[in-house]
Structure 1
Amino acid sequence: MVDAIIVLSGGMDSAVLLADTLEQGKTVEAISFDYGSKHNGRELPMARELCEHFKIDHEIIPLPFINELFSSSLLSSGEDVPDGAYMASNMKSTVVPFRNGIMLSIAAGYAESVEASEVLLGSHSGDHHIYPDCRPEFNNAFAHAVNVGTDGKIDIRFPFSHLNKRDIGDIGRRLGVDFSRTWTCYKGGRIHCGTCGACDERKYALRHEQGLDVTRYLV
């Protein structure tokens, strides 16, 4: 029996969520999505390595239609990812339309198929103002729809929704998460660029200014 399915991107938030859920003694499987983002090629190997480290089952699900049909600078088919602070005015172009809704729907179907009782996603309060499918209104409504649509078998949970990214970084540090084995940069280069909004937020989360961030950046 599996207690929980974790949507694991290979980023720091989902890595901490995985470690925290295992710390609670739950039986876990992870699923990741290859949807054509610029950084999928950097994230997915990290997700795979995390699952190997924790000795849990891992599925990577291809969703090529997102890159082919959707518009976002986060996708390899889109424009350049902007530099600058992690603010709505700057990061709006990185919204992938209804991404979480699509991924959570698939995760819910998978959870029901393997008889898991919940699906966990690591979205946090810092995402709310930029990404509409990370906001509490979406989370509550979607969780209700999935519960109804599965005859009460599946609960969708967002354990970090009340936390900011620095809170998550601190939890991960307490749990011994190796953040050098996670990926954040939206540009998907050889190492983190250090200038895009995602890198800017990662620096804040991992207390870069205090010398605690193990990430290598170009800048």
Structure 2
Amino acid sequence: MLKTAAPRHAVLIFSGGLDSAVTAYKLRDEGVTLSLLSFNYGQRHVKELAQAAVLADRLGVVHDIVDLTSLSRLLTGSALTDPAIEVPHGHYRAETMRSTVVPNRNAIMLEISAGAAVASGADAVAFGAHSGDHAIYPDCRPEFFTLIEATIKSGNEGQIVPDFQLVAPFLERTKADIVREGARLGVPFELTWSCYEGGEVHCGACGTCVERREAFTEAAVADPTIYAPAPEGATR
């Protein structure tokens, strides 16, 4: 679960966002062979997949997009998949961001990625979750990763490589830590996508945009993100 030794070949869940991009650059820097796996689950911010493709091309690694759009009619009740539910704005807090939870999303993505890892002989599945997600998303917590890693190993006994591991290098670190690491590695932050609104540019007001802004500020790293202008009279 928490990375011990660098894997040889990792299937990385790759959204095109800041966290997964830095994770990709970090693993590549450690000499890990990468296979990037993105998911279209009917998210309103599907623009992230275009950015994932651009980043994969920049990295020069294999990239596949899994079509899960047929699941969107089942994964209801989330602002990310239901256009009738507004994306919450403001700080990234549990009481406001709870509406962005997509039921069982990370478990679905991790299990599919595990299947791809077993099929290709990869010894790891990697994921860019960080400590700021813990309060809101139960499937981003250390205990969840411990359990699902054990499930993956048990469910693929005899097929999975003996030293398989679930790699989450930022699970106990903050978003600001991720930005600092990305700056060290030369990650092209301007190519990453965080905004849940999915417009032409980052809205600057949704929870993920606010979190992104604050992370760059806390890390003392220049933020190259283009944000939409705030409405007249609004403050950010």
Give the TM-score normalised by the residue count of structure 2.
0.88
Larger radius of gyration: 2
Structure-2 change in CA distance of 1:209 and 1:17 (3 Å): closer
Counterpart of 1:3 in structure 2 is 9
Q: Distance in 1 between matches of 2:215 and 2:188?
A: 14
- Per-residue deviation, 1:64: 1.2
Q: Distance in 1 between matches of 2:219 and 2:150?
A: 40
Counterpart of 1:123 in structure 2 is 129
- Per-residue deviation, 1:168: 0.2
Is 1:87 matched with 2:74? no
Structure 2: runs of 5+ lacking an equivalent: 1-7, 231-236
Q: Distance in 1 between matches of 2:217 and 2:144?
A: 30
> Is the helix fraction higher in 1 or 2?
1
Report the aligned-residue RMSD. Answer: 1.5
Q: Distance in 1 between matches of 2:131 and 2:84?
A: 26
Counterpart of 1:64 in structure 2 is 69
Counterpart of 1:109 in structure 2 is 115
Counterpart secondary structure, 2:148:
helix
Counterpart secondary structure, 2:65:
strand
Equivalent residues in 2 for 1:1-219, closer than 5 Å: 3-40=9-46, 42-71=47-76, 72-151=78-157, 152-153=160-161, 154-207=164-217, 212-218=222-228, 219=230
Give the TM-score normalised by the residue count of structure 1.
0.95
- Per-residue deviation, 1:37: 0.7
Structure 1: runs of 5+ lacking an equivalent: none
CA contact (8 A) 1:146 1:155 kept: no
Q: How many residues align structurally?
A: 217
